[in-house]
Structure 1
Amino acid sequence: MFTPSREDVRRFFAQAYRKWRDQLPLEPIEAMAADVIALHPEYFPLLEDEAALVRDYTPEDGGLNPFLHLSLHLAIAEQLSIDQPPGIRAAWQERLAARGDLHEALHDVLEALGETLHEAQRDRLPPDNARYLERIRRTKR
């Protein structure tokens, strides 16, 4: 099983960004990452800054860890591409229709994923896929 380090993940996003920015050929997973990065232009400077790649991002900083945020987006993109857990594509379509905005809908799914992973970690159980899908379907507006 591939278990990348924090630095590996950050360098992966920086490399995908540079290749995308420079219009170089991308591997399929890099293309998926580039699509996620394109939704976050506020992160472009970070992906070009060596110091940002090694910085610790803590809750006390008052912001999100941009690399965790991108990683969760990428996990969702992969889930949607293979409909895993089963039914996530349908739940996603419902969420997108309810929101009417791609990025806001993705952030709803990201929040649901974060809650589901937190709950699983807290309870020392596997993530509850049914609960995850239920969270995605929840209407916020």
Structure 2
Amino acid sequence: MFNPSRDQVRQFFFDVWAKYRAGQPLAGAEQPALEAVLAHPEYHALLDQPERHRERDYLPESGETNPFLHLSMHLAIAEQVSVDQPPGIRARYQALLTRYGNAMDAQHDVMDCLGEMIWQAQRDQSAYDPAAYLNCLDRKTGQA
């Protein structure tokens, strides 16, 4: 399993943005990462200044969203949907795509469920619960 450090994740997004701005080709996970970045123009200035934002902490208690976590969750969701893992996520994602008509709104609904599932696992010091994740998605799609 690939388990990059915080610095590696941040550098990955800085590099993707720099390559895009320089007109250089992207490979592998860089393309879906760029799609997420382009859909979030509020992060563009941040990605233009790696020296300023590489070490910054984003604290939820301060009401801040961590842009690197947010973009990483987009990548995780894209991967989950591509391999249909957990089984059934692809169909639920497709239902959200139909509802919203665009990938970012659909992914943000999935992200709400993914974040909730991760938070619950951390809070309860328990394993990932794919059934709870899919149940959350069912509520989002109106299938619950």
TM score, norm. by length of structure 2: 0.89
Structure 2 counterpart of 1:33: 33
**Displacement of 1:3 after TM fit?**
2.5
Change (3 A) 1:30 1:2: same
Q: Contact conserved, 2:113 with 2:137, CA < 8 A, in 1?
A: yes
Q: Contact conserved, 1:46 with 1:53, CA < 8 A, in 2?
A: no
Cα RMSD (Å): 1.7
Structure 2 counterpart of 1:54: 55
Matches within 5 A, 1:1-141: 1-49=1-49, 50-139=51-140
**Displacement of 1:65 after TM fit?**
0.7
Q: Contact conserved, 1:95 with 1:137, CA < 8 A, in 2?
A: no
Q: Contact conserved, 1:33 with 1:74, CA < 8 A, in 2?
A: yes
**Displacement of 1:28 after TM fit?**
1.1
Partner SS for 1:127: coil
2-side partners of 1:85 and 1:20: how far apart? 32
Partner SS for 2:12: helix
Which moved further from structure 2: 63-72 or 1-10? 1-10
TM score, norm. by length of structure 1: 0.91
Q: Deviation digits for residues 20-46 of structure 1, max 9, x if unmatched?
A: 222211111111211111111110111
2-side partners of 1:61 and 1:35: how far apart? 28
Q: Deviation digits for residues 104-140 of structure 1, max 9, x if unmatched?
A: 2211100000001111122222211121112112238
Change (3 A) 1:91 1:140: closer
| Structure 2 unpaired stretches of 5+ | none
Q: Deviation digits for residues 55-97 of structure 1, max 9, x if unmatched?
A: 1111233220111111111111111111111111101011222
Q: Contact conserved, 1:96 with 1:102, CA < 8 A, in 2?
A: yes
1-side partners of 2:16 and 2:31: how far apart? 7
Change (3 A) 1:85 1:24: same
1-side partners of 2:76 and 2:3: how far apart? 14
Which moved further from structure 2: 15-24 or 35-44? 15-24
